[in-house]
Structures are given as C-alpha cells and as structure tokens.
Structure 1
C-alpha cells in the first residue's frame, strides 16, 4: 500500500507543471459558434474535436442504427471525390479524421499539420457539407455493421449488456443496441443517411475544442467556414428515463465455461453536488487497483481475474454499474460476495485511510490524461458538455482533496442501495437461483 501511495505522489510531482501550463481560451466566432482553445505553438500541428449532443439516441422509430451507419459512411466520399479519392486526398495531406457515434453524441476528430491546415479543413468541410453516401459505400459499410451485429450475437459480454439495458430502459433508445438490429440496418436507405446527418449535426448542440498551433482568430475563421452552414436547430432530444432496477437476477443460458456478470443500480447525475464524493467512493468500491470488490472477489477467494464498478452518467439517466467473469461453478459465490460488499459499503461507508488512498490515486492519475493535443481537445469538449468551467482542469484536484470523510459517507448512504442491485448473468451458472 505504501509503495502505491509513493508512486502516485511521484506522478503528481512529475505531471502537474505541464497541466498547470494549460490555458483555456473561451472564444465565440462572428457566426456565433463557441469553442475552447489551448494554443500550443511548439509543434506545427492542431487537434480539433467537434461534438454534437444527441447521438444514436436520435434514431427515428424503425430506423435503429441510422446515425451509427451515417457516421461510419461520412468518410466514404465527398463532393467530387469517391471513397478512394477522399482517402487519397486525406493521406496526401497527412491529415486524419475520425467520425464516431455514441449513445448521447456524435464526434468528429480531426488532426492536421499547420502547413496543410486550409486544405485539410476544406476536405473535412466537404465530408460534412457535401457527403456523397454513394450506394456502394452505404452497402459496404452496412455489411461491416452486419458483421459486428453477428459477432455481438455470439459474444457473452455483448449479450449481457444488451439484456441489462433492455430490461433497465425498455423502449427508450438506451434500451437497444445503437448499432441497430439486422432487420433495421437492412432497411436503411441512402436517403436515411442524409436525414440522420441533418438530425444530429445542428449548431444548437455543437461543442468544439481545439489544441495546437492555431490562434483564436484563425480558429474563429476556420469554424465559421467549416460549420457555419449547418442547420441551426435540431429535433427534440429523447426524454429522461427512470431506470428499472428491481434488485433481481436474470440468467441468459449460453454455452461457455465462464459466466459473464453485469450488475447495477440507479446512479447520480454529473451535475449533482455529490458527484465528486460518489466518484471517490466508487474508486474504493470497484475502481482501479486495490478496490474492495477486487480484494474480496479476486484476492481473497480467487473467483475472478478482475472485477470493476463505474459511474454511468448518460444525458437522460444514470447508473452505478459493475462487471466480472467467473467460472460456472463459482459464479454464484462471487455474486453473493458482491451483494455482501455492496450492502456493507452502503451501511458503513469508507474509512479515513481509504479516502486518503483514493485521493492520492485520483489526483495523481488525473494529470496523465493530458498527454497530447488530441486527448486535451477531447477533454475540453467533455468539460463543456458537462457544464464545467474552463478552469476545471486546474481546480479539479483541489475539489477532490476538499472532500471530507463525512461528505463521502453521506453520499454513499444516499446513493448506494443494495435492494436495487440487479444482475444479468450470461453462461451456464451452477447453483444460481433467479428471483
């Protein structure tokens, strides 16, 4: 334990100066686009992160998977360039773009050299404003999605996740696979791709972070040119949904020597005053390193190779979740241990030593996230979407250190509820009784 604390303290000393040097500028373009910028002119390179709130949860009824398929096809040709022509133009510029779809957001990540900035941004603009969605490209990417769906249908971890979320969120978009189903994906058309893009890429849900060799004036001009012609407003976001977590257990039979277990209960919103105390609490219960669950389930009893718990703060719901795998003969015992530890945690909370250990780890590890222009740009966008201030990077560790034992234990007592703890098991568990 002492070696762990000393190592974490050393990380703080080595990384804090770089983090302290990060200065975030808050800019607004003439066209009304807001962005956060960190100038770093030592390397002629810029990372640009663009995110739109909404994500795959914006799929229309009967069109599940359309946003995912659209984002995966955006780079398959634009303007007068087909898929191969676009790829060649991108490579000639030594630029990179990634287009990703998540449940609550879609993201465009761009990386380009200063000497090629104008051409790289022009090519990205073509992808966003003049996507081709050629039928052969749509069909090719559709085939890739179908392959993913077939793989997920035979993966016990994916089966556990789909089952858990379907039971927890029902007909809400969170309750289904955002890749879609084989039937829904097969029915998607080229026209659906254009419709999906216009639904999720709107200026009222836009967040931007930029880090690198670019000034505020240059970024302002770039953003108005790149994004200024997007639709101003999008359709309504999905409604809030209360998770259904009755504290029961579901077994999905599956031929495998190890059962996969997913478990969870209702969580806490990111803007809740108790979020940081809850984050610290989770670190001790099921986070990195020497957590209680790892100690009890793995170290003392050897029932799994690994187990973890984490806070899930969706835009429209929230959970505390965990997962592990265990042999079919031992999974029932492992679940009992998790239940016992969850109940003990809710009843008695942390000790001062545990709180001090968690603070040391969390404050030391935080600075390691800022290891390049791209990661910092992503963090800037995430901070904006979470409603955090631009100085959060500098004040976050102080907020962690300010949490008292009474505060964290009060948060635990308020949030953790063993009666809600719900399990999904995929495998052939022995001696496991469902509720």
Structure 2
C-alpha cells in the first residue's frame, strides 16, 4: 500500500512524529535497520524507552502505520523525514553516521518533486554540506530543483503531557523558498503553527540555541546547589521564591547530572567538515564541564552522609532509585545514574537499584541487583539515593522508611530528606 510519508529512524524522535502523522490521517511507513525493533512494533510491542505506549502503538497500527527494514518502501512516499540519532561521540562531537546511513538508504529511491526533511540534531550547515551531497549523489537529482530539502529541528519533550506535536510550533528552513513551502505544507498537517526560518542554517541554529539554553541554565542551577550546600542555604526555597518573579526569570532545578537526547552543541566541533570557526562557545563548554562533574559531587555527598552517620562507603548498602534520564520514562540515554553507580562501586559500596521502568540494569558490564520492593529495600539500605522521582514512588512514605535518604531532585517533602 503506498504511503504519503516515510519516517527514517523509529526511535524517540521518529516514533512520536509517525504517531502524530498517522493520527492526522497521513499514510505513514517507518523505516529502521533494526529488524527486531521493526518486528516488535508490527507485533504491537512498544519500545522499552517509553517513547510510545502500547495503546498509542495500537492506534498507529489501526490507522495503517507500517514499519519496515526494506528501503525500497521509501520510493513510494512523497515526503521523507530523517529522524536518525546523533549522540555525542568520544571526541565530544555529534556522531552523524546514522544520518548518513539514512540518507544513503533513501537516495536511490528518491523521486522527483518529493520532499526530504531532516529533524536530527545537527550542526549549522549539515543539511546543505553533508546531507545534500549524499542525496544528490545517490539519486542523480538536484536539491532545490528536482526535490525539496529542508531542516526542521525536533522540539519533542518525551513524557510531556501538555505539549506534543500538534501544539508545539514547528520551525522549518528550506534550501529555497519553494523547499520551505513544501515543508510547511507537510508540517501544517500535523501541527497547529509553522514558523518559517530564513533557511536551513537558521533552522539548525535554532536547535543549537534551544539545547544550549537548557544546558547552560541547568549548569547554573547545579553550581548554585553546590554553593548553597556549602554556605548552609536552602536552594530549593530560594528557587521557590525566585520563580514568583513574573519577568526576567525562568526556574531551572539542579540534579545529579544532565541527560537525555538534547546534548550540548558546540559548533566548534565540525568534524565532518574538517574545520571549525575557531571560537568555541565558552558558555557551552563551561556548562558541560559543570554538568559532567555533578555525578562526582553526588558520590561525594553520599560518602559524606555515610561518614557523618558513622559508616564508610566501603561495605555500605546503597540503593539507587530511578535510573532513567527523565521521570516516568524508561529511557536511560545519558542518565548520570551509570556514572554514579560505577563510582560508588569503586568506593566499595554494595549497590542495588529500583526503577519501575527498567527491569534490568548493568554497570561496567555487571548486572546491578534490582530491589523487588523499594520501600523495604530503603529500610534495609544504609543510604538511599533518589535520582529520578517517578510518579510510582510515594516520597513521603519513602522518607519514613529510609534509614538515610539523599534526594538529588528536591522532590521529597521539605525536611524529610537530605537534598542536593
């Protein structure tokens, strides 16, 4: 059966878009190279990361959504959206290889007058200087003349019940004005408002600004957490008061580290172009440095708390609650829990964890014992560390049961736990 839309990459970026498109009556096919993932979706099994519920998947399938590993299916679609992941590599640069693989799979099947959209997080210039040549070389067509090409930064917030595809404005920037309008025609079917950027570079830089804004402000909150602890000030009360200001302030809260798919982006790392502007975003570098050291700070606080209660980290039973990067999701991408766990292990702590969304968890290649009942486990543990306040947890009850509780999210009732 022909489809109007092909979504390349059925992960946390692609599946929500496919769900929104199918719900809007757009015949949608999803392409992914992971055969087990595709088979699971077609069998009605939602992904473990929580990006799609079982009910949502059933509605997609009933609306005609199909998932496939066959790139030939892409040639039947008038619009293709690349939603490939671009994690940070070992050199702290975005890894664009998945975008390249998606482009090479699509290019031989690209048809004249079709529209190609890129939603993956990328550097300014990627659409024109990296994606465009791959598509043109593989298809024999020319972008802007034979097919439309545009960038549209993803703005998804997994688990957000207030904002989704429909009511979050979509920014688009096309290679030509006609490309922009072709992108607007598609996104106008799945979202209430389309915002036109001057071009793909401007749209790509929107993503850089939005993502770095988050990381820089989280870093400020994290630095304030360390300062306030050192001088004996209740940061959480400070934030509660500051957020009453109706202008010039947006509250951000500290935590054990910044995770998720929205990685900090420094355009100085343009590895795929083998050059850089030569002037890195210092604020972004500093923010990453601050956020990256928060797991170490959490472990330091753990050791100090245990010591204050006459115990050494070595041999102490430590329970970690919530090991995902975001509450009420099963996605561990970028979660600081792994580094915190590994550092506690190095100190000789006897580690266990509980997370209602993560049935199995390994650190340093070793499985971490999972507590069956978190409140009983908290009562037995020398120290319980709340890393993610899933709705599943009764924080009042937890604070009563736990021998010693470190709340890294400020979610427990005031005065019932040690806070970050």
Range of TM-score over shorter length: under 0.3
TM, length-normalised to structure 1: 0.26
TM, length-normalised to structure 2: 0.27
